[in-house]
Every structure is written in C-alpha cells, then in structure tokens.
C-alpha cells in the first residue's frame, strides 16, 4: 500500500477511471487481486487485522455515488460444480442503510458467508450487540443462515440492504464518525492496463487508519516542484534466504592486537592544602609497607592451601565411603536377621501345622501322618520292652502294647469315618455348584464373561431343589410344598429311579399327615436325598454333570481304559493306579497301596511331596523350559532322598526331612538328578552364591557329590523318558568308573530291590 499526495492522486485519476470524488486525506489503499484470483480483498484485510489492532475501517459514511462496474457474466462459473468454491469466495459490495437515520455503510463482503457473520461484523463496527440487529432485503426480513449467494447476489456486484435495531432506545444505530468527515467510499473499482490495449478491472478497498502515519521524509522535484514523501508499507520486505555461510566475520579481516600499559592520570596527581584550598585530614590514615612476598613464597603458600583442601576433601570422601560400608553392613545384617526370622517362623509354622494335623486330621495325608507316628511309637516301645524286660514280663508287656495299638487304630478309624461323613456334604455341594456354574471365558481386554445355557439353568434348578430337600429344620407346610415340587420334577422322566422317588415321597407325605414326628422320618428323608442325588448325577436327566463324572458314559472309552489290580482283583480305570516317571502303571491300585501302608509300612510321604513341590516352584521361576522336575513323582523323590543322599544334608548331615531341600549343584545347568545337592534351608543361600563349586569345595567333597550323581544317572537312565536329557560324555564314561550292583532300599518290614543295568 502506498501513501499518495494530492498531486499524485490527480495523476492517478487521469490514468485510471475512478468514479469517485476526491479524497483530501491521505489513506491506505489495498489493491485486491482480479476477480479470477483465489483470494478476495476482504479476506486479505481480515488477515491483516489478525496481526495488529483492528482500525476503524468501516465507519458510517454518507452514500457515495459510484458507477456499477461491468463484470463478466458468472453464470457459467455457477453452473460448473468445480468452481462453486471460488465463486463463493468472490466479493460483492453491500450497502447497508441504517434506519431511521438513513446513513449508508458500504462493505465488501464474500457472497459465500452467512448473514449471521455480516451481522457480527457490523455489530463490531457500530459497537452494539449482534442480537439487536435486523437485516431486510427489499422490505423482506432475511434469515441468519442464508448467504448472499442464496439471496441472489452475484460476484462483484452491489446490493442494498436495510438494517434496524430491535431495541432503538437502548441500542440506537448511529455512525461512529460524522458523514462529513468521510467523502471517500470504502470500495472502488479501477481499470489497470495489463497489456497493449488490454484493461482489467480491479477492486480496491480503502482502509482508514485511526491516526496519521509518521512523516518519514522525502524529496522535491527541482523543475516541477512536486514533493515526494517516503511511505511505509504494511507488507514486510522479503527476507533473503540463509545461505548457511557466515558473511560478516572478523576472522576474514586483518587485525593487529597490541597490549600497552598506561598510567592513569589520577594516580600521578595529588591534592593538598594550599592558598585558597583546605583539605581535611580527619579521615587520613598511615599506610606502612608490609613484608615483601616473593613468587616462590606465594606459590608455596598456594601449594599448602591446596594440600589442606585436598586433605579435607579426601577425609570427607573417606568418611562417606565408611558410612556407605556401614549402611551396607547394617543392611546385610538386617537381611540375614530377616532371613533367619523367616526360617524360624517357617519351621514353627511347620511344627504347628504338623501338630494340628495330628490333633485334627482332615485329609488322607493327615491320617498317614497319624499312622506313621503310631508306627514310630510302637517301634520305640518295642525296643524299650526288649531292652528292659525278660521272660513272662516281656510277653505281657508286648501283649499290652498290641492291645494299645489296636485301640489306637480303632480310634483313628472311628475318627476317619466321622471326618468322611462330615466331608460328604461339602463334596456333594461342591459337585452341585460346579455343575450349575455358568460358562466363563475372558475377553481380550481381560474382562470375565459368563453365559448361562439351558443345561446350566436346569442344573441350577436341581441344585436349589436338593438344598431344600436336604434341610431338616423346616415347617411341615414348607416340607410338603418342597416334596410336591420334587414329585412334579421327577415325573417328567419315567423310569425305575423316578418311580422309587415318587413312592418315597408319597410315603413321607402319608406319615406326615398322620402326625409322625420328624425324628422318626430321618432315615426316610435320607433315602429321598440319596435317590434324588442319583437322579441329578444321571446325564439323561441333568446333561451338565456328564463332564464332571469320573466314569465316562461312552462304553467305547471304558474298553481301552480298564486295568486289573492284582491284589484286590478288580478292574479299575487308569486314574485309580499310581504312575511312575517311566510312564508305566503300577500293578496295585491306589486303594490297595493305602491299605498296605496302613497295615504294614505306615510311611508318611508328605515331606517328599513338600520337597518336590518346592523344587518345581523354584525351577519354574529360574527357567520356564524346566521339564525334569515335572517328570519325577513322589516315589522318585523318595529314592533320591533315601537311597542316593541317605536322607541327610550333604554339608552338616542334618536328618530333618522337613528342613531339607534340593538345589542345583552347578547354577548354569538345569536341575536334574545328576546336577543336584541335598541341603538344609539354612545352607541353601550360601551355596547359591558360589560361582565355581570346584574352587569353593574340597576335592574329596566334590568327588563324593559326583559319585552320588553317577548313581542317580545310572538309576534314571532306565527310564525311557529321561534318556534324552542325559549328557553324552558322562554317560559314555559311566561304565568305566562304576560296577553295577543291586541297591536295597529298606522301608520298614518290606524292601524294594533296584538292580542296575
């Protein structure tokens, strides 16, 4: 934009056809692009307003007489859908008449914008709320959502609209500046010659700044006397691109640097008392020269200061190191104390658990512990009698011992029957809850989804009915209602079982109507519960229990899964036999094993199970690919502990089986029977910190451990599953080191012979 003088304005008027009156004031004019451009002048002005304070550009002015420019017909552009956006960005001259004063405001407005945006612009110019403005075209009120294009306004044309205030008393419409101050219109159209004989019409918007621009100087033509002023533009000058090379640098110039000492003039002059000048000596002081310090003395003093600083710094660092060592020592002692306390608490917990299992046995392992304690007590009493008594007294004491043992066995058996009766109800209720549980699975986000099917709903109804039938403390009316519900439920299927249940229900109802006491009906009610439980366990009546029954309903599955027990001569499924590490089934079922253990050996395998459980947990934490600990069974662990390691710790020979654990002999290799050592829980942390066992232990101890590893390797090499985990080199050299012998494992009154290959 250029700031023109009056003479220049006259020259411009002669060259271009501008149908407006002269403007006495100097203003800024922004020349817009031709109508075919991508941007309109109004949008350029809005972008300029965003970077600085908005000037008062659209004040109220008197209507200026301008000739309508002749623009090309845009009907062809409107028909083309690809040019709709460019047409919507074109501007048009909008003359707004302020009623009732009759003042006119001329605005260049994009025809694609809405009336609401026009109201907002005019409200900011008139300093009134936009809600009180009301626009009308040809006496008809226009809607705020409509655009100028929808009202029939063409690009680069002019239209006339009336604007009034809905609240003229509070918000009257008055121009901000008097009309006589503005004689220049806001929008003018000029013709610019773009070529030889080619002219183009350009829309120019006039902006009026609130204050005059600063005078920047200028010059005057000597011949014509015309004055030319320097003008400021709103467009910033184009910045040269950075070439990445430093152009102005002192390095490229020849510089001579010199150092020269000069005496300050203040030091060479003095002020003293003279004629006409008095200088007070009140603040004067006597300065005497001190001891002269040579350079060697100065550097020596600096050296002593540095040494002093270093000594204090090194003392502080040493103190920090000592404090750190003390903290680590205290932390180590606290950790050791914590580990010792945990071991004591764990041992006390084991003793309390063992004592609780003795006093209140609930599981099969608890009764094995009782029988093991009974056998241990009997052996101790028998040894005491044989060592202290002779003749008839010895025989009498042994007979009394047998009677006491018989009484204890009977007491244990009676307690076992009581526990079985107490656990029967829990087992039945757990079975019914599992059958009635809905199907569950987890989604990808971790949430649990439950779904009920027809079978689960049926199982839930039967479970609730069984719970009501098994209740004994109910009133007679409630009992009759439950029996009728049970009768209608079982009548849905006709078979011998349902007929028996219906007969028992009718008998109980008849006895209850005759006034028989509930205590006399206990046996009858138990029979009803038992038959109804059998009804629930039938897959034909309750399909959901088929997945919980131990015996499959398909006879084809039982054909290849039945084996003969050589002791009780019964055909049982494979789940009723114990499996060894070799994968072979035992010839004796688990029931016969328990009877034989109670009658003769009375062994307790709980500590072997604890050792195996702890070994599996630790190896799974160390390596997810650990397989050998999960292939071993309780019998294999018993062989390792009793035969290979003699039920003692390898270091301190501790024989407390509840305090012994298996760990790796070499930490870098996975656990196996030929890479393990039996230690107590107190010795385990120290062994796990050993990096090289051949350097930490003596050669005699290492050879003894290797001998035990060779025995374990020879024993477990007979198992086909374990052969693939054997090392090739030790297995090849094994025959040259040891001779095959039969190993006898004594377990009470019977022994198990294991012969090497």
What's the CA gap between 512 and 260, in Å, rounded? 133
- pLDDT at res. 580: 63
What's the CA gap between 159 and 250, in Å, rounded? 65
Residue at a domain's end among 161, 194, 210: 210
Question: Of 138, 77, 146, 598, whose CA–CA distance to 372 is shortest?
Answer: 598
pLDDT tens for 439-492 read 888 888 888 888 989 999 999 999 999 999 888 778 888 889 999 999 999 988
pLDDT confidence band for 15 (50 / 70 / 90): very low
Hey, what are 411's tokens? 């007491």
Q: Is residue 35 part of a domain?
A: yes
- pLDDT at res. 206: 67
612 and 580 fall within a common domain: no
What's the CA gap between 358 and 361, in Å, rounded? 6
Q: Is residue 636 part of a domain?
A: yes
* Residues in contact with 435: Cβ distance below 8 Å, sequence separation at least 6, in sequence order: 456, 459, 463, 536, 542, 544, 545, 548
pLDDT confidence band for 740 (50 / 70 / 90): very low
What's the burial of 42, exposed, middle or buried (CB within 10 Å: 0-12/13-18/19+)?
Answer: buried
Q: Is residue 254 part of a domain?
A: no
382 and 476 fall within a common domain: no
Query: Which structural domain, as residue segments, surrounds residue 621?
Result: 606-755
- Number of neighbouring beta carbons within 10 Å of residue 415: 14
Average pLDDT over residues 306-311: 97
Residue at a domain's end among 602, 619, 644: 602
- Number of neighbouring beta carbons within 10 Å of residue 549: 13
| % of the chain at pLDDT higher than 70 | 76
- pLDDT at res. 113: 81
Q: Which helix (H) or strand (E) holds 28?
A: strand 28-31
Q: Is residue 336 part of a domain?
A: no
SS3 content of the chain, % helix, strand, coil (to 5): 45, 15, 40
What's the CA gap between 603 and 313, in Å, rounded? 70
Q: Is residue 65 part of a domain?
A: yes
What's the CA gap between 183 and 193, in Å, rounded? 27
648 and 530 fall within a common domain: no
Q: Is residue 629 part of a domain?
A: yes
Residue at a domain's end among 397, 432, 467: 432
pLDDT tens for 332-356 read 999 989 988 988 888 888 888 888 8
pLDDT tens for 85-140 read 555 567 778 888 888 777 777 777 788 888 888 888 888 888 888 888 888 888 78
- pLDDT at res. 326: 96
DSSP assignment, residue 35?
Answer: T
What's the CA gap between 89 and 77, in Å, rounded? 12
pLDDT tens for 548-600 read 877 666 666 666 777 888 888 888 877 778 766 555 667 788 888 888 888 88
What's the burial of 126, exposed, middle or buried (CB within 10 Å: 0-12/13-18/19+)?
Answer: buried
Average pLDDT over residues 274-303: 88
What's the CA gap between 678 and 660, in Å, rounded? 7
172 and 39 fall within a common domain: yes
78 and 202 fall within a common domain: yes
Name the more confident of 30 and 205: 205
596 and 473 fall within a common domain: no
565 and 530 fall within a common domain: no
Hey, what are 476's tokens? 């007679």
One-character DSSP codes across 665-690: SSTTS--BTTBEEEEETTTHHHHHT-
pLDDT tens for 161-172 read 888 888 878 788
Pairing of strands 28-31, 660-664: unpaired
CATH code of the domain covering residue 579: 3.30.60
CB 418 within 8 A of CB 360: no
pLDDT confidence band for 33 (50 / 70 / 90): very low
* Residues in contact with 619: Cβ distance below 8 Å, sequence separation at least 6, in sequence order: 626, 629, 670, 671
CATH code of the domain covering residue 146: 3.10.20.90
CB 367 within 8 A of CB 594: no
508 and 638 fall within a common domain: no
Query: What value does the mean pLDDT of the chain take?
Result: 77
CB 361 within 8 A of CB 419: yes
Q: Which residues pair with 746 in a beta bridge?
A: 751
488 and 418 fall within a common domain: no
561 and 624 fall within a common domain: no
Peptide bond into 678 cis (omega under 30): no
Q: Is residue 278 part of a domain?
A: no
Q: Is residue 300 part of a domain?
A: no
161 and 113 fall within a common domain: yes
Count of structural domains within the chain: 5
618 and 729 fall within a common domain: yes
Long-range contacts of 725-734 (CB under 8 A, 24+ apart): 725/627, 725/628, 725/672, 726/674, 727/674, 730/674, 734/710
């Amino acid at each position: 934009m250029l700031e023109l003088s009056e003479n220049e304005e006259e020259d411009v008027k002669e060259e271009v056809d501008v149908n407006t009156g002269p403007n006495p004031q100097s203003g800024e004019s922004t020349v817009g692009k031709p109508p075919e451009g991508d941007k309109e002048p109004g949008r350029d002005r809005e972008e300029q307003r965003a970077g600085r304070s908005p000037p008062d550009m659209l004040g109220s002015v008197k209507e200026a007489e301008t000739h309508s420019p002749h623009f090309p017909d845009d009907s062809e552009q409107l028909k083309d859908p690809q040019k709709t956006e460019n047409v919507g960005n074109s501007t048009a001259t909008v003359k707004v008449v302020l009623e009732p004063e009759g003042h006119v405001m001329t605005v260049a407005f994009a025809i694609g914008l809405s009336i609401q945006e026009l109201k907002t612009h005019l409200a900011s110019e008139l300093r009134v709320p936009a809600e009180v403005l009301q626009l009308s075209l040809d006496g008809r009120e226009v809607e705020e959502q409509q655009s100028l294009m929808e009202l029939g306004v063409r690009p680069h044309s002019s239209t006339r609209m009336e604007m009034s205030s809905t609240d003229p008393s509070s918000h009257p419409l008055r121009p901000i500046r008097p009309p006589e101050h503005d004689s220049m219109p806001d929008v003018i159209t000029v013709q610019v010659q773009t070529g030889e004989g080619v002219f183009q019409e350009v829309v120019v918007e006039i902006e009026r700044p609130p204050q005059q621009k600063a005078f920047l100087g200028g010059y005057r033509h000597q011949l014509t006397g015309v004055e030319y002023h320097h003008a400021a533009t709103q467009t910033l000058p184009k910045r040269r691109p950075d070439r990445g090379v430093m152009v102005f640098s002192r390095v490229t110039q020849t510089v001579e640097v010199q150092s020269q000492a000069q005496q300050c003039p203040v030091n060479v002059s003095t002020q003293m008392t003279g004629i006409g000048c008095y200088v007070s000596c009140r603040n004067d002081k006597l300065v005497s020269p001190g001891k002269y310090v040579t350079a060697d003395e100065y550097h020596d003093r600096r050296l002593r200061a540095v040494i002093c600083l270093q000594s204090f710094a090194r003392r502080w660092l040493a103190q920090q190191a000592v404090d750190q060592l003390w903290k680590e020592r205290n932390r180590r002692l606290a950790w050791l104390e914590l580990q010792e306390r945990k071991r004591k608490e764990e041992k006390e917990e084991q003793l309390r658990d063992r004592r609780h299992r003795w006093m209140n046995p609930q599981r099969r392992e608890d009764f094995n512990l009782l029988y093991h304690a009974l056998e241990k007590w009997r052996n101790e009493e028998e040894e005491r009698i044989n060592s202290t008594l002779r003749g008839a007294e010895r025989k009498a004491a042994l007979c009394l011992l047998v009677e006491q043992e018989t009484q204890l066995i009977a007491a244990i058996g009676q307690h076992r029957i009581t526990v079985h009766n107490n656990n029967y109800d829990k087992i039945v209720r757990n079975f019914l809850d599992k059958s009635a549980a809905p199907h569950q699975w987890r989604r990808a986000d971790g949430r649990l989804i439950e779904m009920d099917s027809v079978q689960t709903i049926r199982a839930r109804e039967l479970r609730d009915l069984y719970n009501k039938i098994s209740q004994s403390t109910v009133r007679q009316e409630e009992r009759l209602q439950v029996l009728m519900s049970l009768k209608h439920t079982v009548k849905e299927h006709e078979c011998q079982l349902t007929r028996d249940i219906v007969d028992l229900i009718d008998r109980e109802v008849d006895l209850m109507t005759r006034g028989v006491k509930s205590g006399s009906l206990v046996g009858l009610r138990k029979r009803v519960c038992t038959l109804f439980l059998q009804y629930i366990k039938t897959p034909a009546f309750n399909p959901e229990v088929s997945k919980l029954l131990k015996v499959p309903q398909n006879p084809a599955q039982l054909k290849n899964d039945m084996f003969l027990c050589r002791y009780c001569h019964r055909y049982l499924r494979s789940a009723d036999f114990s499996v060894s590490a070799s994968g072979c089934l035992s010839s004796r079922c688990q029931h016969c094993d328990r009877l034989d253990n109670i009658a003769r050996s009375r062994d307790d395998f709980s500590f072997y199970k604890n050792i195996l459980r702890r070994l599996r947990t630790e190896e799974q934490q160390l390596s997810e690919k650990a397989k050998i600990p999960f292939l071993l069974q309780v019998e294999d662990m018993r062989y390792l502990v009793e035969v290979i390691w003699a039920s003692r710790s390898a270091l301190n020979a501790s024989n407390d089986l509840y305090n012994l654990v298996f760990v790796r002999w070499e930490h870098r290799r996975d656990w196996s029977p030929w890479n393990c050592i039996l230690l107590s829980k107190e010795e385990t942390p120290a062994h796990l910190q050993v990096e090289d066992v051949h350097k930490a232990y003596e050669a005699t101890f290492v050879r003894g451990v290797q001998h035990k590893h060779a025995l374990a390797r020879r024993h477990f090499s007979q198992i086909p599953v374990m052969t693939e985990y054997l090392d090739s080199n030790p297995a090849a050299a094994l025959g040259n080191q040891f001779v095959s012998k039969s190993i006898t494992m004594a377990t009470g009154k019977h022994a198990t012979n294991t012969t090497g290959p």
